[in-house]
Amino acid sequence: MMTGFFTSDGEPALSVHVAGPAGNLDVDAVIDTGFNGELTLPHEQIDTLDLPEATITEVTLADGRVRDVPLYEAKALLSGVTREVFVAEAPTMPLIGTGLLRGFSLHIEFQAEGTIQVEPLNSSS
């Protein structure tokens, strides 16, 4: 089990450990249930980790626009579980999508001093 925190904007966030060929980083990432990918990082952090570019895909944004986005290979460690993931490049604060949360339970208390808890499900798929 791991605990998260709220950002100053009141968004639930988790610390994810991301590893690439050039090293690894602890990234504070906002939990974004409107994003169905795994993880986004800004360009500088992708550069720092020297993540290899894997493939390209189209994504839709909230306003309906469509963008071509490169996807990078990385390893992400969340609540004791390491996975091979695709990292999408986005200029925002790092985001954790529903893809990375698959197989975990997430408990959020939306209140002042509220707790955020993530733990792997037993029958993770």
Partner 1 sequence: MEPKSAFSTQRRQFPPKRFPRVFQEVDVPLKMARRPPVRLGHRSDRFASANPMWKETRPPAYEESEAPIPQPPKIMSEDPSELAERGNEIFERVVRPEVDAESDAQKFVVIDVETEDYEIDANARAAFDRLVERRPDARGRTWLRRVGSRHAYHFGGRLREPSTE
Q: In this chain, which of 3, 57, 82, 115 binds partner 1, going by CB under 8 A?
A: 57
73 binds partner 1 per the rule CB under 8 A: yes
Least distance between partner 1 and beta carbon 15 (Å): 21
- Identify which of 54, 39, 20 has the alpha carbon closest to the alpha carbon of residue 101: 39
62 binds partner 1 per the rule CB under 8 A: yes
53 binds partner 1 per the rule CB under 8 A: yes
54 binds partner 1 per the rule CB under 8 A: yes
The contact pattern for partner 1, residues 89-108, with x = CB under 8 A and - = no contact, is -x----x-x-x---------
User: What is the layout of strands, in order, in the sheet containing 104-108?
Assistant: 2-3, 116-120, 104-108
By the 8 A CB rule, do 21 and 51 touch?
Answer: yes
9 binds partner 1 per the rule CB under 8 A: no
Residues 6+ apart with CB under 8 A from 101: 31, 118
Strands 5-6 and 95-96: unpaired
